Amino acid sequence: MRHLIDPTDLTVAETEQIVALAEDIIANRAKYSEACRGKKLATLFYEPSTRTRLSFTAAMLELGGQVIGFSDANSSSVSKGETVADTVRVIRCFADIIAMRHFKEGAPLVASQYAGIPVINAGDGSHAHPTQTLTDLLTIKREKGRFDNMTIGFCGDLKFGRTVHSLIKALSRYSNIKVILIAPQELRLPDYMLAEMAENSRLEFREVETMEEVMPELDILYMTRVQKERFLDEEEFDRVKNSFVLNPEKLKTAKEDMIILHPLPRVNEITRAVDNDPRAAYFRQVENGKFVRMALIYTLLRWADENRPFERTPVF
């Protein structure tokens, strides 16, 4: 049984296959409208979400499938103490595939060990967010036309930013990728990730503390929100919450074809005035999320049904 818990659960070829399928879905929407008829997605969200949950829901509906689940764990038997393992053992009786977001790192991995149906990690604590990575990759493909030969600056909360952790892992598998980590000391990338990057001879990276000093080099600027909900110490959050604010003035030295990505939601790290800049790709990025999740749901269900093929004719 295949799951998606970490971006590297997919090979480079499989990742690119899903991105290519998403592009085909964008070009030929009607072709996929019955692709998951008769299938159910369970969205189990133990932590708040707007984009991820609703795009998973829209994705399954557009594939002709149905959606069940909860967006408030307190309305489920989780509030009575039910474990993730028991919850997914129950959900497998009602659904064919699960998308789970959890505040605890590793919870979707546990779910995958008990579910018996494909589990997709929709974000676990500060660990990983592989479907945001697929969204980012589709956006990079559509905006830049390639995954290699790029300088990408990750700016903001690199300590807790699971979208950053996952995208770095995915891009690390391509050649001539230069990563610039832009963060204050308190929000540096976790040591285990820095160690992994140092071991990757194909990857070049360095750490800086201001975006201004690297702006002219960047092909992609990946902004992130400082994640208040992950801080144990509110005073520390107050110290770093305004570390970076991207505004039109700071973009003056950026390349004309640089793109600005952000997984969203944003707080104050990108001013509204930047939204009108054609380089601001973050709302286009959101839209891509639905298509790549359609491609992923379809692919995982197809893999799960390998020995029990869909009754319908496969669409690819």
**C-alpha to C-alpha distance for 115 and 119, rounded to whole angstroms:** 7
> Catalytic site residue 51?
yes
Question: Is there a catalytic annotation at residue 225?
Answer: no
Token match 């390639």: residue?
146
Catalytic residue check, 101: yes
Closer to ligand CP by CB, 49 or 243: give it: 49
Please state, in angstroms and rounded to a whole number, the distance separating the CA atoms of residues 24 and 14: 15
What is the nearest approach in angstroms of ligand CP to the Cβ of residue 120?
13
- How many whole angstroms separate alpha carbon 281 and alpha carbon 216? 18
Q: Identify which of residues 108 and 123 has a Cβ nearer to ligand CP in the complex.
A: 123
| Contact stretch for ligand CP (CB under 6 A) within 48-56, 113-121, 193-201, 294-302 | 48-56
Beta strands at 177-182 and 150-155: parallel, antiparallel or unpaired:
parallel
- Joined together, the tokens standing for residue 111 give 């779910």
Stretch that binds ligand CP, among 75-83, 136-144, 186-194, 258-266 (CB under 6 A): 258-266
Per-residue H/E/C for 66-88: EEEEECCHHHCHHHHCCCHHHHH
Using CB under 6 A as the binding rule, the residues of this chain from 122 to 141 that contact ligand CP are 123, 132
Report the nearest approach of ligand CP to the CB of residue 123 (Å): 6
Interaxial angle between packed helices 51-62 and 130-144, expressed in degrees from 0 to 180 and rounded to the nearest 10: 80
In the complex, least distance from residue 289 CB atom to ligand CP, rounded to whole angstroms: 8
Express the helix, strand and coil content of the chain in percent, nearest 5 each.
45, 15, 40
129 noted as active-site residue: yes
What single-letter amino acid sits at 265? P
Q: Which stretch binds ligand CP (CB under 6 A): 30-38, 209-217, 230-238, 263-271?
A: 263-271
Q: Which of 128, 171, 264, 297 binds ligand CP (CB under 6 A)?
A: 264
Q: Which residues are at the interface with ligand CP (CB under 6 A)?
A: 49-52, 123, 132, 263-265
Please list the active-site residues.
51-52, 80, 101, 129
